[in-house]
Amino acid sequence: MLRLTASDFYAYSRPSKCELRIYLKEIGEEGSPPGPYDQVLFKLGKRHEVSHLATFPEYEDLREGSLEDRKERTKEALKHGASVIYQAVLKTIYELDGRKCEILGEPDFLIRQQDGYIVRDSKISRRITENDHAEILRQLEIYGWLYDQTTGKSPFALQVHAGTGDIVEVPYDGGSAALQLFKQIASLKTAESEIYSPVGWSKCGGCTFHSYCWPRAKANRDVALVPGVDQNLAMAFKAQEITTIEELLRRFDEDSLSEFKRPCDIRDVLK
């Protein structure tokens, strides 16, 4: 059975959106280990989370044990009304586009509020917005949806403990946006062959699969390596079966290339 986790939103979106990264992770391709910068960010994130945990006088700590064990302990903690549940596991089986999937989430905090629970995650990001960190919003939305599936009730609220120390409210849409993205991620995970995703300096610089993709792009003389060819333009060329620098030179001269209509958004190419 296909497993979808809240961390898939990060794999898809960071350091920049990439369909190929999801596929490579799913087939078990080895990426580079985290560099010093990533390790520092991880330590800062964990410190931020633990400092927030210390503000609660009592809590149930569910960090230890298997996922299945933690899931059952989460249900028990919810049943007896624990004031704070730390590192809960929420899991359900759900059908997406006719494909049965196991959907899993591990919110940092479930905080009792009246007759329900706030779902809260700690993030060191300072700007929790759709433009800056859509993956954080999708993650909170799927946590809220999993809580709904587990308890039969909508969460009291979805919140992010941001890097500024502020508590940022995230609207709950019933999981609609997160599940829609999961459909796309599921199709990438189950693709029959490797997906084409153009390389790019800003896109690939901090990616764990940089050493996998860039040598191959150079060896293949990928059109995405041409200065001025961005992601949208590379995908538009791909739609015209232009994938190499040689093919680009063969198909266009300066005048015809200047007339080539590029899409404003990569989604226009993928329609």
CATH number at residue 120: 3.90.320
Helix H or strand E segment including 64: none
Q: With contact defined as beta carbons under 8 Å apart, do 86 and 64 qualify?
A: no
Same domain flag for 31 and 113: yes
Q: Residue count of the chain, please give it.
A: 271
Q: Give the number of other CB atoms < 10 A from CB of residue 265.
A: 9
Q: With contact defined as beta carbons under 8 Å apart, do 148 and 62 qualify?
A: no
Q: Terminus-to-terminus CA distance in the chain, angstroms?
A: 28
Percent above pLDDT 70 for the chain: 96
Same domain flag for 135 and 263: no
Q: How far apart, in whole angstroms, are the C-alpha atoms of residue 234 and residue 244?
A: 10
Output the pLDDT for position 118.
98
Task: Output the furthest CA–CA distance in the chain (Å, rounded).
Answer: 72
Same domain flag for 112 and 176: yes
Same domain flag for 96 and 183: yes
**Mean pLDDT value across residues 164-177:** 97
Q: Tell which residue, 123, 104, 93, 132, has the closest CA to residue 14.
A: 132
Question: Using the 8-state DSSP alphabet, how is residue 190 labeled?
Answer: T
Q: With bands split at pLDDT 50, 70 and 90, how would you rate the model's confidence at 264?
A: low
> Model's pTM, two decimal places?
0.90
Same domain flag for 241 and 116: no
Residue 205 lies in a domain: no
**Helices and strands in the chain: count of H runs, count of E runs:** 12, 9
Same domain flag for 160 and 243: no
Same domain flag for 11 and 104: yes
Residue 207 lies in a domain: no
Is the pLDDT at 271 greater than 60, yes or no? no
**Mean pLDDT value across residues 200-213:** 90
Token readout for 146 is 């999993």
Is the pLDDT at 253 greater than 90, yes or no? no
Q: How far apart, in whole angstroms, are the C-alpha atoms of residue 86 and residue 64?
A: 11
**DSSP bridge partners of 122:** 161
* Range(s) of the domain holding residue 155: 2-189
For residue 214, the SS3 value is: helix
Residue 92 lies in a domain: yes
**Which of residues 189, 210, 245 is at a domain's end?**
189
**Mean pLDDT value across residues 10-29:** 93
Same domain flag for 80 and 172: yes
Residue 203 lies in a domain: no
Same domain flag for 153 and 65: yes
Q: What is the pLDDT of residues 68-90, one digit of tens each?
A: 999 999 999 999 999 999 999 99
Residue 62 lies in a domain: yes
Same domain flag for 166 and 231: no
Q: With contact defined as beta carbons under 8 Å apart, do 137 and 170 qualify?
A: yes
Q: How far apart, in whole angstroms, are the C-alpha atoms of residue 18 and residue 104?
A: 21
Q: How far apart, in whole angstroms, are the C-alpha atoms of residue 14 and residue 18?
A: 8
Q: Tally the domains of the chain.
A: 2
Which pairing describes strands 167-170 and 157-161: parallel, antiparallel, or unpaired?
Answer: antiparallel
Is the pLDDT at 136 greater than 90, yes or no? yes
Q: With bands split at pLDDT 50, 70 and 90, how would you rate the model's confidence at 263?
A: low
Same domain flag for 76 and 179: yes
Output the pLDDT for position 262.
65
Residue 51 lies in a domain: yes
